[in-house]
Structure 1
């Protein structure tokens, strides 16, 4: 089984993760983080779970929430700029020119029936069209630039002016293409791309879809590959769309629509990092093995902030058949239980985007907008991770203790012989 995963499954996933387009999508989407996290801070301040806080703010609450509409309401256009910029850099094109053309193309695609800009599509509703239009636009530019089908100006013209004219032909072609489709044919590009990606969106919104994702991420990590990065080019846009829609519903005091929004996986399944290895770190702190105890002490500070490379490569978990089991099943157990609790509205769902390095418990409080049952559950997830990892850790500890005792005897024998 391990050989099949290592030789057949992992190479396929690595190729997917190294694809230039998916890398550009992953890196481009991260451009939205400063804006969505900043918007979340305003939303937190406007909705602090303190008795009488809403009455205290009064009409000022709406003013305090205003940046949310600008930050979460612009993630589509921000993503279009970020993705096109990163993809252009990989193709060694002028990134600023590509981003500017993509932005115009994206805005053109968001015209309504009266040919005015539909601002609602600049946010989460337009995220998928932003991704695909970015890719298409950059490839149109690449086609013309690589074949030297550009307007060339005489020598002596300032480079900035020459560069702007070099992008004229591909810009005109891209704009005419989208104008023809959206305006003349009256084809809703945004709705089409949303429909096209709906199976993937629906899949990651379900418990089976999340379990498959967690399994693949865990397997990649067990082979020494950053599983989260490999698959984030596919998953990040979907989770970002979910959290933006959840934030909007939370702002409007409506039922929260999505469970698996951004924060669901990171906050409740990645305690101490991927694989919920905080339970393993806590187990190591009480270990009788000198090696494991020192690894636990060194790993704890980073584990608190959800960074667990010291554990994965220091324990190690990589290519360790014993520890691969809890590393994989712990987040899957937590995923199942957390999904059930959110499905039945026992704990709050993710409504705010937070930094992924925020420590557990605090992260659960902020990501759910101050939901206390979610905080209590976050404590429980730490306990569960300890109990799942503990029996497997004890097996590894037993072998390590035997090894340390054998080494101790070997080091002691020369001393005893010299005394005799």
Structure 2
């Protein structure tokens, strides 16, 4: 089974993760992160769960909501610029020109029925359209550049001016094509794309989708591949859109529609980092093996802020058959409980995006608008992580102790297998 995983599954997943278009989408969407955090910050300030503060801040709520409306209300627009830029960079066409053409094509694709700018489509609901438009733009752009179907200016013309003329023909074709589809034929591209992606959106915002995503991410990390980055191009637009919907519902005072949103995995599943490795760090700090104990003490400060590369590569977890098991199952178990408890409204749903380095408990408290049960669950998750890792760590510890006593690798394996 391990050979099938190593020789068949990992190469496919690695190839998907290295796809230039997915990398461009991932990098382009990463540009939205500062804006979502800033928007969340203003929303937190305006909704701190302290009655005295709420009474004081109430007259200024509209003023505080202004940055929220702009940051989250422009996620689609920001995505179009970011993805267009990185798509050009990855596929080796002029990135700024590609980004600007993508931006104009996106705005044209999301026009209203009256052919005016549709403000709603500039937000998170337009993120999938931004992805599709950027893919279309870069492929058309590349075709014209590769086949030298461009306007070339004489030598001596400033490079910026020459580049603008090089982009003229592909830009004309791209914008004309989108214009025909949206304005002449009246096809609502945004609505069509939303319908096409709806099954994927529904799948990820479910318990099976959460489990499958977590399994793939941790399996990739176990093979030394950055699992979070590998899936970001597929998962991020969905969970970020879900977060925006939750924030809009929160502002309107209506029930929150989504559980699996951007930040859910960070505050409930990645305690100490991907794989919920804070439990392993705590086990190492109590170890009889000096090297493990030292690594645990050195790793604890970073683990508190959800940084666990020292553990993943230092313990190591990568390609370690013993530790891969708890690394994969711990976030699945904790995440499944978090999903069910949120579904039952025992703990609060994630409303705000907090920085990924926010420590456990604090992150859960802030992300759920001061929900005490969510903070308690986060604290209990640290304990659960410790005990899930414990039996596997004991096996690894026993193996290391035997090696330090001078036993051969074969003798150690024989003794460990009897534990």
TM class, shorter-length: over 0.9
The secondary structure found in structure 2 opposite 1:52 is helix
Cα distance, 1:102 vs. partner?
Answer: 0.7
> How many Å separate the matches in 1 of 2:183 and 2:382?
54
Task: Kindly indicate whether the alpha-carbon contact (under 8 Å) linking 1:47 and 1:54 is maintained by their aligned counterparts in 2.
Answer: yes
Aligned residue for 2:315? 315
Q: How big is each residue's C-alpha offset from its partner over 1:279-323, in whole Å with a ceiling of 9 and x where there is no partner?
A: 010011111111110111111111111111111121111222211
Cα distance, 1:154 vs. partner?
Answer: 2.4
Structure 1 segment 247-266 matched on structure 2, within 5 A: 247-266=247-266
1:169 pairs with 2:169? yes
TM-score normalised per structure 1: 0.95
Task: Kindly indicate whether the alpha-carbon contact (under 8 Å) linking 1:259 and 1:349 is maintained by their aligned counterparts in 2.
Answer: yes
Aligned residue for 1:305? 305
Cα distance, 1:153 vs. partner?
Answer: 2.1
Cα distance, 1:155 vs. partner?
Answer: 2.4
The secondary structure found in structure 1 opposite 2:225 is coil
Aligned residue for 1:384? 384
Task: Kindly indicate whether the alpha-carbon contact (under 8 Å) linking 1:54 and 1:61 is maintained by their aligned counterparts in 2.
Answer: no
Cα distance, 1:58 vs. partner?
Answer: 2.6
Q: How big is each residue's C-alpha offset from its partner over 1:228-287, in whole Å with a ceiling of 9 and x where there is no partner?
A: 111111111111111111111112221111100011111111111111110010011111
Aligned residue for 2:190? 190
Aligned residue for 2:245? 245
> How many Å separate the matches in 2 of 1:113 and 1:391?
62
> How many Å separate the matches in 1 of 2:110 and 2:98?
19
The secondary structure found in structure 1 opposite 2:51 is coil
Q: How big is each residue's C-alpha offset from its partner over 1:27-59, in whole Å with a ceiling of 9 and x where there is no partner?
A: 000000111111111111111111122221232
Cα distance, 1:405 vs. partner?
Answer: 3.3
Task: Kindly indicate whether the alpha-carbon contact (under 8 Å) linking 1:271 and 1:360 is maintained by their aligned counterparts in 2.
Answer: yes
The secondary structure found in structure 2 opposite 1:93 is coil
Cα distance, 1:65 vs. partner?
Answer: 1.2
Task: Kindly indicate whether the alpha-carbon contact (under 8 Å) linking 1:292 and 1:315 is maintained by their aligned counterparts in 2.
Answer: yes
> How many Å separate the matches in 1 of 2:268 and 2:396?
26
Question: Which residues of structure 2 form unaligned runs of 5+?
Answer: 408-419
Cα distance, 1:13 vs. partner?
Answer: 0.4
1:140 pairs with 2:161? no
Aligned residue for 2:121? 121
Cα distance, 1:401 vs. partner?
Answer: 2.0
Q: How big is each residue's C-alpha offset from its partner over 1:135-159, in whole Å with a ceiling of 9 and x where there is no partner?
A: 1111111111111111122222222
Structure 1 segment 209-248 matched on structure 2, within 5 A: 209-248=209-248
> How many Å separate the matches in 2 of 1:252 and 1:223?
44
> How many Å separate the matches in 2 of 1:113 and 1:247?
27
More moved, 173-182 vs 310-319: 310-319
Runs of 4+ that moved beyond 6 A: none
The secondary structure found in structure 2 opposite 1:58 is helix
Aligned residue for 1:91? 91
> How many Å separate the matches in 2 of 1:6 and 1:200?
27
Aligned residue for 1:130? 130
Structure 1 segment 15-414 matched on structure 2, within 5 A: 15-406=15-406
> How many Å separate the matches in 2 of 1:33 and 1:225?
22
Cα distance, 1:4 vs. partner?
Answer: 0.8
Task: Kindly indicate whether the alpha-carbon contact (under 8 Å) linking 2:42 and 2:64 is maintained by their aligned counterparts in 1.
Answer: yes
> How many Å separate the matches in 1 of 2:94 and 2:406?
62
> How many Å separate the matches in 1 of 2:174 and 2:90?
20
Aligned residue for 2:412? none
CA-atom RMSD, angstroms? 1.1
Task: Kindly indicate whether the alpha-carbon contact (under 8 Å) linking 2:348 and 2:374 is maintained by their aligned counterparts in 1.
Answer: yes
